[in-house]
Amino acid sequence: MTYPADRRYTRDHEWIAVDGDVATVGITSYAAEALGDVVYLDLPEVGTTVTAGESCGEIESTKSVSDLIAPATGEVLSVNTEAVDAPESVNADPHGEGWLYTVRVGELPEDLLDAEAYAEQAQGQQ
């Protein structure tokens, strides 16, 4: 699998793409494949604050329910209502149309991985 180089990744299989002080968050294709068919998303509410490294929602698949772990601290600005209404979009395009939410961020955590380091980690977990 390849991962877009224009974003950072967590060891919990989320990605974050930053544009100024706004970041878009989603799960990686590795996570989408491991989860199986995504059937439900419980995303953070607009206006709430998420904290890096803490649970901020859930993603349910035909196999399991997993916590969404915030890759950065900030205020949630929007959620992808199209993905909530059609959670299969997370499987179909996890790095694009299947994004989950946007957040206003300050500093990014130092432990985020670049695409190459994340790919190595994901490969090691297969």
3-state secondary structure 23-78: EEEEECHHHHHHHCCEEEEECCCCCCEECCCCEEEEEEECCCEEEEECCCCEEEEE
On whether the CB atoms of residues 15 and 3 are closer than 8 A, the answer is yes
Check pLDDT > 90 for residue 124: no
| Cα distance between residue 66 and residue 52, in whole Å | 16
- Could you report the per-residue pLDDT of 80-102, keeping only the tens digit for each? 999 999 999 999 999 999 999 99
pLDDT band for position 106 (cuts 50, 70, 90) = confident
Nearest to 32 by CA among 107, 105, 94: 94
**Which residue intervals of 10-126 are DSSP H helices?**
29-35, 81-85, 88-92, 115-124
For residue 62, the tally of other CB atoms under 10 A from its CB is: 9
pLDDT band for position 126 (cuts 50, 70, 90) = low
Question: Whole-model pTM?
Answer: 0.94
Domains of the chain, with CATH numbers?
8-107 (2.40.50.100)
Percent of the chain at pLDDT > 90 equals: 91
